[in-house]
Amino acid sequence: MSNKFYENPVIKWIEYRLPIFSFIDESVGSGYPTPKNLNYWWNFGSLAGIVLTIMIVTGIVLAMSYTPHVDYAFESVERIMRDVNYGWLMRYIHMNGGSMFFLLVYIHMFRGLYYGSYKEPRELLWIIGVFIILAMMATAFMGYVLPWGQQSFWAATVITNLFSAVPLIGDSIVTWLWGGFSVDNPTLNRFFSFHYLLPFVIFALVFVHLWALHVHKSNNPIGVDIKGPQDTIPFHPYYTMKDLYGLGVFMIFFMFFVFFAPNFFAEPDNYIKANPLVTPTHIVPEWYFLPAYAVLRAVPDIWFISAKLGGVIAMFGFTLVLLLLPWLDRSPVRSARFRPIYRQFFWVFFIDCIILGWVGANTPDAVFHGIPFLWIGRAATVYYFAHFLILIPLISILEKPKMPPQSISAAVTGTASKGAE
């Protein structure tokens, strides 16, 4: 820890025994050197952290009035909406916060893909990020079940049923997950328990994520390492202020939905209480699961692997393939700014993800200009995996990257590699 000098005797007393003030200073204060050239795409990590905090706070408040029982869950949520003071506000923040959280984290991830933030020496940082998104998905899925509406119930039924595809022990796994022979009260209870637990696991993962970040500091838009103090500025006040401004813009966006379109991301069906005897005409997941849902449904029977099992494997592979990325991309240059070929394929990949989301929102037998969605989904799924497993390795070997600037300060001042500013 630094030997920063504190005047205040109380702070001094504490600092001597627990160096918490220098810890804060070195994490988000003036003692943390940050590349001076970060653009606004670097705002999204801190925004996601703030939304995680908002989710935990509103979630704890909701849990005070929520009843995890099949006979009361739906009504208890409506009580929160009607009878708890500002309960509607807490619920709408939590409900829309889920969507905002995914939106921010997806942007955060695409940022990483574009600027090569997953490359040496940030592989572990990236891998921890993949675990965070997996934990987020589990949390959001179980949270969606809690209000016990029609979509809640049927989403839980469809998704848990997927595990029956596991050979031999599939059915036993499903019974074990349910705590019975269908999605019922035990299922709701355990989902609530996990939904309360997992955000704190995410919190711990975020802590480790930041720990790894602080070892080698942030990557930056030109992807060139920090060469010395002339390349950096202290986190505080520069980035604290920039993050605060970004937070303001984001909050305007977020609060617009909370107050004026609170059900924009919601399915009307979920305002009908769960009924195991009535299957909804269409079961659609929340928008942030649509690409994964499209992948799940794209896989046909292949040899001895059933379509269901294949779909489950592909759906997990959809996220897990990101774990391999640091070793699939062999290009020494990080930022796509200096990788003309990769940059184009990045955007094709981005569009591919949008297409997958669009396919996920439609039934497989629906058609678009004569083409069944099933086939669009299959093509987009194949491309998704080909991007990581074939295109990225090939491009990274064949492409001739442009020469990045010598250093961050050289890039900022536009001068040659003199360094000093």
- Of ligand HEM, other proteins, none, which one sits near residue 199, judging by CB under 5 to 8 A according to partner kind? ligand HEM
Work out which of 21, 144, 178, 235 binds ligand HEM, going by CB under 6 A: 144
Per residue, what are the HEC states of the chain? CCCCCCCCHHHHHHHHHCCHHHHHHHHHCCCCEEECCCCHHHHHHHHHHHHHHHHHHHHHHHHCCCCCCCCCHHHHHHHHHHCCCCHHHHHHHHHHHHHHHHHHHHHHHHHHHHHCCCCCCCHHHHHHHHHHHHHHHHHHHHHHHCCCEHHHHHHHHHHHHHHHHCCCCHHHHHHHHHCCCCCCHHHHHHHHHHHHHHHHHHHHHHHHHHHHHHHHCCCCCCCCCCCCHHHEEEHHHHHHHHHHHHHHHHHHHHHHHHHHCCCCCCCHHHHCECCCCCCCCCCCCCHHHHHHHHHHHHCCCECCECHHHHHHHHHHHHHHHHHHHHHHCCCCCCCHHHCHHHHHHHHHHHHHHHHHHHHHCCCCCCEECCEEHHHHHHHHHHHHHHHHHHHHHHHHHHCCCCCCCCCHHHHHHCCCCCCCC
- Of other proteins, ligand HEM, none, which one sits near residue 72, judging by CB under 5 to 8 A according to partner kind? none
Establish whether 329 is a catalytic residue.
no
CB of 188 to ligand HEM, least distance (A): 11
Establish whether 331 is a catalytic residue.
no
Establish whether 407 is a catalytic residue.
no
Establish whether 286 is a catalytic residue.
yes
Applying CB under 6 A, does 48 fall inside the site for ligand HEM? no
- Binders of ligand HEM among residues 63 to 82 (CB under 6 A) are 63, 66, 77
Nearer to ligand HEM, 361 or 389 (CB): 361
CB of 51 to other proteins, least distance (A): 15
Task: Select the span of 132-140, 160-168, 171-179, 371-379 touching ligand HEM (CB under 6 A).
Answer: 132-140
Give me the catalytic one of 15, 25, 286, 352.
Answer: 286
Work out which of 31, 116, 147, 246 binds ligand HEM, going by CB under 6 A: 147
- Binders of ligand HEM among residues 178 to 217 (CB under 6 A) are 195-196, 199, 202
Applying CB under 6 A, does 246 fall inside the site for ligand HEM? no
Supply the residues annotated as catalytic: 214, 218, 242-243, 286
Where do contacts with ligand HEM occur on this chain (CB under 6 A)? Answer: 52, 55-56, 59-60, 62-63, 66, 77, 91, 94-95, 98, 101, 136, 139-140, 143-144, 146-147, 195-196, 199, 202
